[in-house]
Amino acid sequence: MTGVRKILTKCSYLIFAVAFAYISLNILLVDNIHSYKIIQLFPGIIFGAVVVAIVIFLLNKIDSDRLDCNFKKVLLVFSIVYCIVLVRMGFLLRFTPSFDMDAIYSGAIQWTQNGNFSNYYEYFGYFPNNLGSMGFLHIIFKIASLFCVKDFFAVGIIVNSALITGTAVTVSLVCRKITNSKMALMSLCLFLLCFPFYFMGAAFYTDSLSLLFPVLCYYLYLCLKDENNRKKQMIYLAFMGLSLTAGMMIKFTVVIVLIAIVIDAFLYIPWKKALLILLVPLMFYGVTESVYSHNIYKNYISDKQYQNLKTPYWHWIMMGLQNNGYYSPDDYEYTRSYEINERSAACRKKAMDRIGELGVSGLFKLWTNKAVVCFGDGTYALSDFLDDTPANETGIHEYILYAGKNYNQYQSFSTGVLLLLYLLAIFGAVRDIIGKVKYRQSILVTAPRLAMLGILCFLILWETSGRYFTNYVPMLIVCATLTLYWKKEKV
């Protein structure tokens, strides 16, 4: 059975390596979406590679035992400094939210101050998937209001900056758990190279609000695997359920990491324990979602006219089959032209018609373009938010806003760094197929690469956006960091 597990694992690594190598080559050579020139991408790749080489050199000079003793202090200092930088940048980049972010932000404020969010019932009738993120902000704003805080945007910046900082810390803990303290520091270095995170504090939408939870869930899973005490195992399992529930309520794509973890669990630990890892988080989520939805539809969006606005999931699949999968007002008009009980079937039929029109070659080309859109923008399309009536005019805006005169330079440089992460992750997968390095947690580390494949599969089927990959960038950083682990260890 062990041989079968190894074969299945290495097959998944091969698929991962081929898929992301194919995407990377398309970004480098034939990207008609962003119109990059190779020479524009090289500075980011080279800069990132030089920084990584310097950090590796410095880490080789550090005594491992001494670093282990002082690791928590280093992590604490990093957290404080990084969070301060994020908060400061967040206040500089304040803006007036619009569209989806306005709905969850202003809806949460109205709920906090008036006891309802009636101005946004229609929006949430159409998009109930965003109710969880509004509820999350409502809880945060409610707590802040108890201390007479009225600047809720500032609260959003601080909380979002703390979540981003917590994500960086959790990535380092994951890498330390799998390898050692030096690689934990290396992961922080790679996180610092991802420039959009510096500017993300003010953009507290679902992409960043859910950023922490996939990698946190994976860290708790690693702790669970490493723990023999049954009571502590149950504690880790409960926290896994809580983190997955919070993440999935904010952005449902967090479920992908659960799928990846469960596959890893069935490969490497007893099946009964693996089954618990699947069922307990789903139970947490199911109960929470049921209670929350019951409360919303009983006490707030109780009018049937709002409940009949719901957009079916097939709408986004249908929309993802046209014009490289971008947002389409015409498709929304099409979906809403049908009665609620007919919408899903109508969208499914149109999706099947589009697949028939595309054919195999057309569908593959579409999926390629969608993958390039979703995984080929090193800015994570953050300007979707930051250019909504900025409160300040700064030199930074000339780089990070779509209309900024230096935006192309920033986008190309950031995408070069992103390509470096892909290249590292690909090389690490190939190396692990050969089996040259053994990690602390298991013979092979499966879940991060499976999670990357999972979000890839989802996004080539769904609506296309450069933002939707954001909450899985931390898992990519884990994959890239594992490649730089050079010390062989016996398991």
Dump strand ranges (E) for 173-251.
none
Residue 482: CB atoms within 10 A of its CB come to 26
CA angle, residues 154, 159, 163, in degrees to nearest 5: 145
Query: Integer distance in angstroms from the first to the last C-alpha of the chain?
Result: 18
How far apart (Å, rounded) are the C-alpha atoms in residues 35 and 119?
41
How far apart (Å, rounded) are the C-alpha atoms in residues 29 and 27?
6
Q: Is residue 23 part of a domain?
A: yes
Of the candidate ranges 304-308, 311-315, 328-332, 387-391, the one whose mean pLDDT is the lowest: 304-308
For tokens 């032209």, the residue is: 337
How far apart (Å, rounded) are the C-alpha atoms in residues 292 and 219?
27
Helix-then-strand count for the chain, H and E:
22, 0
Q: Is residue 325 part of a domain?
A: no
Q: Which residues pair with 123 in a beta bridge?
A: none
Q: What share of the chain is helix, strand, coil (3-state, %, to 5)?
A: 75, 0, 25
Q: Is the pLDDT of residue 41 over 70?
A: yes
Q: Stretch 436-449: mean pLDDT, rounded? A: 70
Q: Is residue 344 part of a domain?
A: no
Q: Which two tokens stand for residue 477?
A: 């950083």
Residues 6+ apart with CB under 8 A from 180: 64, 485, 487
Q: Is the pLDDT of residue 5 over 90?
A: no
- Please, which pLDDT band fits residue 487 given cuts at 50, 70 and 90? low
Q: Dihedral sign, CA of 162, 167, 168, 173? A: positive
Q: Stretch 230-251: mean pLDDT, rounded? A: 94
Q: Under DSSP, is residue 95 helix (H, G, I), strand (E, B) or coil?
A: strand
Whole domain around residue 182: which residue ranges?
Answer: 2-309+376-483
pLDDT computed for residue 490 by the predictor: 39
pLDDT per residue as tens digits for the range 268-296: 888 888 899 999 999 999 999 999 999 99
Q: Is residue 39 part of a domain?
A: yes
How far apart (Å, rounded) are the C-alpha atoms in residues 296 and 307?
11
- Please, which pLDDT band fits residue 440 given cuts at 50, 70 and 90? low
Q: Is residue 303 part of a domain?
A: yes
How far apart (Å, rounded) are the C-alpha atoms in residues 452 and 259?
11
More confident position, 5 or 76: 76
- Please, which pLDDT band fits residue 491 given cuts at 50, 70 and 90? very low
Residues 6+ apart with CB under 8 A from 365: none
Query: CB–CB of 127/100 below 8 Å?
Result: yes
pLDDT computed for residue 395 by the predictor: 93
Q: What percent of the chain has pLDDT over 90?
A: 79
Of the candidate ranges 56-60, 73-77, 417-421, 435-439, the one whose mean pLDDT is the lowest: 435-439
pLDDT per residue as tens digits for the range 400-426: 999 999 999 999 999 999 999 999 999
Q: Which two tokens stand for residue 149?
A: 């805080």
pLDDT computed for residue 436 by the predictor: 65
Nearest to 386 by CA among 203, 217, 170, 250: 203
pLDDT per residue as tens digits for the range 343-372: 999 999 999 999 999 999 999 999 999 999
Q: Dihedral sign, CA of 87, 93, 95, 101? A: negative
- The amino acid present at 331, given as its one-letter code, is D
Q: Which residues pair with 95 in a beta bridge?
A: 390
Q: Stretch 136-140: mean pLDDT, rounded? A: 96
Nearest to 241 by CA among 272, 263, 220, 267: 220
- The amino acid present at 320, given as its one-letter code, is G
**DSSP structure string for 389-453:** SBSS--TTHHHHSTTSTTHHHHHHHHHHHHHHHHHHHHHHHHHHHHT----SS-SS--HHHHHHH
How far apart (Å, rounded) are the C-alpha atoms in residues 197 and 474?
11
pLDDT computed for residue 30 by the predictor: 84
Cα atoms found within 13 Å of the Cα of residue 476, Cβ hemisphere only: 28
Q: Is the pLDDT of residue 104 over 80?
A: yes
- Please, which pLDDT band fits residue 144 given cuts at 50, 70 and 90? very high
How far apart (Å, rounded) are the C-alpha atoms in residues 46 and 53?
10
Residues 6+ apart with CB under 8 A from 149: 155
pLDDT computed for residue 438 by the predictor: 64
Q: Is residue 191 part of a domain?
A: yes
Q: Is the pLDDT of residue 335 over 90?
A: yes
Q: Is residue 216 part of a domain?
A: yes
Number of structural domains the chain divides into = 1
Query: CB–CB of 475/394 below 8 Å?
Result: no
Q: Is the pLDDT of residue 253 over 60?
A: yes
Q: Which residues pair with 390 in a beta bridge?
A: 95
Q: Is residue 10 part of a domain?
A: yes
pLDDT computed for residue 443 by the predictor: 47
pLDDT computed for residue 444 by the predictor: 58
Q: Is the pLDDT of residue 441 over 60?
A: no
Burial 356-377 (b: 16+ CB within 10 A, else e): eebeeeebeebbbbbbbbbbbb
Q: What rounded mean pLDDT belongs to the chain?
A: 91
